[in-house]
């Protein structure tokens, strides 16, 4: 008897392009959302996008509540939940980088309310995904959360954001190559749940981005367009898989560990990019694709070494040898690398000196 079933939750509206920030109110109308929104943002994105979105709401006779959060913590999620309850709002709008959007996602999951994702940086592939990443105790990786009802990505705002945020988004996409290698390995060795559609989409997204790398240049709005479409596609792959597997393997474990060992030293996307160079080496050895990954990262100005991340060599080695413990996710790291092997891969790939 055939007993499989699947339930894929995706946004209903995806609006990308020049000046589409002002379409947030139309998207809300299209979704038939009633009542007050709560805009969830952080300090810089507030000035860049949340205040203008609030003004757009007021222009159509809706009085939005706004909450500004500083860091992706459960306290911040609590603050958003409390504000939503006291301000009697009916839906949330996450406006900012990955952290502000993740907080809105987690809070809307808890409140059982819809939310819109309005990215102000093309820096991560959580813009569309049904995953939320807020550290809980020792846990740093994403967990299942509410997917956005809609995404409104204004390329004018995204192109104006600091360039390193865009290169971080590119690196988060390039890391799909090794994430998918890890997923296929885990399928072969551990028979983990696997979706060929999600894996192919994640891989193809990385390929399209790398093929178009010459269009990814500072100050070009077209770059924001190319990168944002890739981030959306990668997020859809996660939603199809109902897991971050298509976009997160050992290179993400490495980054999550760096977040603990060297908090706020580097951007998420930059860390996973450097991790991906090393885990590609572990998969394919010297003849593998690690050089292609390194060259793709360097062609879009993303870091390829510990020094460029602003992280010392010892911390990189510590992260490599311990990050397999971060979560129960089988990867090329198996049950962990020893220090000599970690030094070897980091040296051979030029990540450490």
Ligand X SMILES: O=C(CO)COP(=O)(O)O
Ligand Y SMILES: NC(=O)C1=CN([C@@H]2O[C@H](COP(=O)(O)OP(=O)(O)OC[C@H]3O[C@@H](n4cnc5c(N)ncnc54)[C@H](O)[C@@H]3O)[C@@H](O)[C@H]2O)C=CC1
141 binds ligand X (CB under 6 A): yes
Dihedral angle at the C-alpha atoms of 222, 217, 311, 272, nearest 10 degrees?
A: 40
Residue 164, Cβ neighbours under 10 Å: how many?
18
**239 touches 147 (CB < 8 A):** yes
42 binds ligand Y (CB under 6 A): yes
Nearer CB in complex with Zn ion: 24/201: 201
From the list ligand Y, Zn ion, ligand X, none, pick the one residue 342 interacts with, judged by a Cβ distance below 5 to 8 Å according to partner type. Answer: none
Distance CA 76, CA 95 (A): 14
Chain centre to alpha carbon of residue 326:
18
Sole binder of ligand Y in the list 56, 109, 125, 251 (CB under 6 A): 125
105 binds ligand X (CB under 6 A): no
279 binds ligand X (CB under 6 A): no
Backbone angles phi, psi at 65, to 5 degrees: -95, 150
**3-state SS assignment for residue 216:** coil
Q: How far is the CB of 129 from Zn ion (least distance, A)?
A: 9
Q: How far is the CB of 247 from ligand X (least distance, A)?
A: 4
Nearer CB in complex with Zn ion: 46/131: 131
Backbone angles phi, psi at 335, to 5 degrees: -95, 25
Sole binder of ligand X in the list 247, 300, 306, 346 (CB under 6 A): 247
Which residues are CB-contacts of 228 (< 8 A; sequence separation ≥ 6)? 16, 119, 122, 127, 153, 155, 158, 169
From the list ligand Y, Zn ion, ligand X, none, pick the one residue 44 interacts with, judged by a Cβ distance below 5 to 8 Å according to partner type. Answer: ligand Y
161 binds ligand Y (CB under 6 A): yes
Per the annotation, binding residues for substrate are 125, 172, 256
List contacts with ligand Y (CB under 6 A): 42, 44-45, 48, 72, 96-100, 102, 120-121, 123-126, 129, 131-133, 142, 157, 161-162, 165, 168, 172, 244, 267-269
């Amino acid at each position: 008897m055939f007993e499989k079933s699947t339930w894929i939750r995706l946004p209903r509206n995806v609006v990308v392009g020049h000046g589409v920030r002002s379409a947030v109110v139309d998207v809300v109308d299209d979704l038939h959302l009633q009542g007050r929104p709560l805009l969830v943002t952080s300090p810089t994105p507030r000035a860049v996008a949340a205040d203008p979105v609030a003004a757009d709401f007021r222009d159509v006779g809706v009085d939005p509540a706004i909450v500004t959060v500083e860091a992706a913590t459960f306290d911040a999620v609590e603050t958003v939940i409390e504000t939503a309850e006291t301000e009697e709002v009916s839906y949330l709008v996450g406006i900012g980088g990955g952290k502000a959007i993740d907080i809105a996602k987690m809070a809307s999951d808890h409140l059982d309310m819809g939310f819109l994702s309005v990215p102000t940086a093309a820096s991560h592939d959580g813009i569309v995904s049904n995953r939320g990443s807020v550290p809980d105790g020792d846990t740093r990786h994403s967990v299942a959360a509410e997917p956005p009802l809609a995404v409104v990505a204004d390329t004018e705002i995204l192109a104006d954001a600091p360039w390193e945020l865009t290169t971080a988004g590119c690196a988060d996409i390039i890391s799909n190559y090794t994430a998918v290698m890890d997923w296929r390995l885990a399928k072969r060795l551990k028979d983990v749940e696997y979706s060929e559609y999600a894996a192919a989409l994640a891989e193809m997204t990385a390929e399209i981005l790398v093929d178009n790398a010459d269009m990814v240049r500072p100050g070009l709005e077209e770059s924001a367009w190319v990168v944002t479409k890739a981030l959306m596609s990668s997020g859809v792959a996660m939603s199809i898989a109902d897991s971050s597997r298509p976009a997160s393997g050992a290179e993400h474990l490495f980054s999550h560990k760096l977040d603990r060992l060297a908090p706020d030293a580097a951007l998420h996307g930059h860390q996973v990019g450097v991790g991906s160079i090393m885990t590609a080496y572990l998969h394919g050895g010297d003849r593998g694709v690690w050089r292609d990954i390194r060259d793709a990262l360097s062609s879009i100005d993303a870091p390829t070494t510990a020094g460029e991340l602003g992280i010392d060599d010892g911390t990189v080695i510590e992260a490599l040898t311990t990050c397999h413990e971060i979560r129960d996710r089988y990867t090329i790291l198996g049950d962990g690398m020893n220090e000599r092997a970690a030094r070897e891969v980091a040296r051979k790939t030029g990540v450490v000196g």
